[in-house]
Amino acid sequence: MDAQGLQVDNLTVAYRVSGELAAPALRDATFQLNPGEILGLVGESGSGKSTLGRSIIGLLPSNAEVRDGEIRLGNSVIMSPRGDRTRQFRGSHVGYVFQNALSSLNPTMRIGTQLNQVIRRHRPNLSRRERRHLAQDLLERNALRDVDRVLRVFPHQLSGGMRQRVAIALAVVARPDVLIADECTTALDVSAQAKVVDHLAGLVREEGMAMLFITHDLLLAGDLCDRICVMKDGAIMELGRAEQVIFDPVHAYTQSLLASVPRIEV
Ligand SMILES: Nc1ncnc2c1ncn2[C@@H]1O[C@H](COP(=O)(O)OP(=O)(O)OP(=O)(O)O)[C@@H](O)[C@H]1O
């Protein structure tokens, strides 16, 4: 089956606080994400990046309400005020990696068992030996060394950065159409970050996966992404080719974000 793109139209999400609907945390967001494309989502803390990412995978907090708009994967509406069908697509078609890998790892299960389970589910035709090779390969590609040991241990026996790389390996087993990566490399040191980012970019280019890369790091987004979407107070301020947003930003807010990055002159 051909890879499917994602279309977000006029999406508006608000949170209920003490029973009252607060001002929308996401307002009228519209963009598309094409197969084989990396779209960076940048903006200050609280600008609505995670609300948008979590809407796409249907993992919004229970006090969130989708008030307007819709999200489509290919021809299927997966999220709208009328209903949430994301569960049907989560994992297999839409993968995700959050900043906190502990939320996607089972603390009571060895890493090897978790990877094996996910590989069995999504790649049922592989033999036991092929599954083991794939698990090793995925960990190595995510910059993990000593993979045999990693496969034997429990999540708490790994560092935070290692757990993050395992979570990324788990998320890409299914070769999803879309991967939502929410600050997924923030906790890594620079060299691990570069390897993981290279691996993710390779998946996008080779497998036609689409990736929404959520980050505070405007320069990283500039290096990695095809297009960049800049958010402020729940709204998309600017959306354009990465080079244009970084070197020739249209919106004053993007200019101020860039001005606060020491190495860039605008
Ligand atoms: N569960 C919640 N209940 C009420 N308000 C929330 C909740 N989660 C987020 N918000 C509010 O929604 C707005 C957007 O938050 P969101 O987490 O989407 O931003 P963000 O850009 O991802 O921030 P960060 O970079 O810090 O993760 C913020 O004003 C935040 O306080």
pTM comes to: 0.90
pLDDT at residue 1 tops 60: no
The yes-or-no verdict on residue 140 having pLDDT over 60 is yes
Determine the pLDDT at residue 82. Answer: 96
Least confident of 65-74, 84-93, 184-193: 184-193
Residue 77 has pLDDT above 80, yes or no: yes
The binding-site residues of ligand 1, defined as CB within 6 angstroms of any ligand atom, are 15, 17, 25, 43, 45-51, 61, 63
| Cα 51 to ligand 1 centroid, rounded to whole Å | 6
First to last CA, the chain: 44
Residue of the nearest CA to atom 25 in ligand 1? 45
Q: Which of 5, 6, 10 is nearest to 26 (CA)?
A: 10
Read off the pLDDT of residues 116-134 as tens digits, 9 standing for 90 and up: 999 999 999 999 999 999 9
**How much is the average pLDDT of 226-255?**
95
Residue with CA at minimum distance from ligand 1 atom 28? 46
Choose one of 26, 44, 49 to mutate for the ligand 1 pocket test, by most ligand atoms within 8 angstroms of C-beta.
49
For ligand 1, atom 2: residue with the closest CA:
15
Average pLDDT, integer, range 146-157: 94
Which is nearest to 119 in space by CA: 57, 169, 177, 184?
A: 169
Provide the mean pLDDT of the chain.
91
pLDDT tops 50 at residue 222: yes
Closest C-alpha to ligand 1, atom 1 = 61
Ligand 1 centroid, distance to 48 Cα (angstroms)? 6
Q: Which of 131-135, 209-213, 260-264 has the lowest mean pLDDT?
A: 260-264
pLDDT value, residue 66 = 98
pLDDT at position 263: 58
Confidence of residue 4 (pLDDT cuts 50, 70, 90): confident
Q: Report pLDDT for 262.
A: 67
Considering only residues 22 and 144, tell me which one the structure prediction assigns the higher pLDDT: 22
Return the minimum-mean-pLDDT range out of 91-105, 136-150, 162-176.
91-105
CA of 114: how far to CAs of 42, 98, 118, 131, 162, in Å? 32, 17, 6, 12, 15
Q: Distance, CA 46 to ligand 1 centroid (Å)?
A: 5
Q: What is the DSSP string of 85-117?
A: -GGGTBTTTEEEE-S-GGGGS-TTS-HHHHHHH
Cβ neighbours, 10 Å, residue 123: 14
Q: How far is the CA of 240 from the centre of ligand 1 (A)?
A: 24
pLDDT of residue 264: 47
97: confidence class by pLDDT, cuts 50, 70, 90: confident
Nearest to 81 by CA among 6, 9, 7: 9
**Closest residue to atom 30 of ligand 1, CA basis:** 46
- Categorize the per-residue pLDDT at 190 as very low, low, confident or very high, splitting at 50, 70 and 90: confident
Pocket test for ligand 1, best of 17, 45, 60 (most atoms within 8 A of CB): 45
